[in-house]
Amino acid sequence: MHLVARTLLAGSCDAESPLFKLDGQADLLGRIWRYVILAWAHELLEERISTQSGGADDIAFAHVDNVSFPQPKGRNVNMMPFVLGDRTTLPEELHDYWPMIATCLETLPDEELLRVGYLTVHESEVRAGASQRRGGLHTEGFVREACDASGGGGDGRCLHAPHWHRWGLGRAMDHGRFEGGIFLASTLSDTTQLYNVRVPPTLVGRGGDLDHLRPTLDVQSEPGC
């Protein structure tokens, strides 16, 4: 058991402890514990950032190239599968995007071109101050919680240890060369804030949420766009 958690629980049950005032205050204990977890997360993240050496293993994102977008036509597809190196596996109405895709493919090993990729295109008007897609600070992946049940719902049973799954399973082989991963492009500059930090999986929240780490990231890491 975590040392602080054991101290809180034991102290709340010990009449000789100042923490005994928390006896029966489950809501307050829960709030204190959330603050402890948050402080622990920030400490781990600060340590991770301070030990980054700038090598390939520390690259979380990199700028590939500037690109030109085709004229918008209201297209909206989500994770459409296609063979990375074969334009004919895309519907003809998406061929306008092939020059952009080809620019990304130049950073991948040749054997990657035989694999299946997933294309998302979202052409729409966006209100000022709003997000076109998911807002908030997050990473592209998800945590499968220990008590998540397949098929939704769940009865609280722990089915397996929590584990982290990152979309694209990407990694940097060297500066400018990658294996797998996600390529992202936007028609508007300075509208997406990115941090070049590989966050430890234990700190990633449900659905990839990282908003709880924003204060540390803002202080410890230079954002890029």
- Collapse the DSSP code of 120 into the 3-class scheme (helix H, G, I; strand E, B; otherwise coil) and give the result: strand
Residue in this structure with the two tokens 């071109």, named with its chain if needed: 113
Q: Give the DSSP letter string of 140-201.
A: SEEEE-TTPPTTS---S---S--EEEEGGG-EEEETTEEES------SSTT---EE-----G
Phi-psi region of 178 (alpha: psi -120 to 50; beta: other; left: phi over 0): beta
Distance (Å, whole) CA 222 – CA 224: 7
Give residue 77's pLDDT: 95
pLDDT score for 1: 45
CA 154, CA 158: separation in Å to the nearest integer?
9
What pLDDT is recorded for position 54?
62
Please tell me what DSSP assigns to residue 71. Answer: P
Is-above-0.75 flag for pTM?
no
Looking at residue 40, the DSSP 8-state letter turns out to be H
> Which pLDDT tens digits describe the chain residue by residue (225 residues)?
467 777 877 888 888 888 878 888 888 878 887 777 778 777 777 777 777 666 656 667 777 888 899 999 999 999 999 999 999 999 999 999 999 999 999 888 888 899 999 999 999 988 888 888 888 888 887 666 655 555 445 555 666 666 667 777 676 666 667 777 888 888 887 778 888 888 887 788 877 888 888 888 876 666 655
- Inter-CA distances, 192 with 120, 130, 131, 195, 206, Å: 17, 12, 10, 10, 21
pLDDT for position 162:
63
Token pair in block for residue 190: 């300075």
Predicted pLDDT at 156: 56
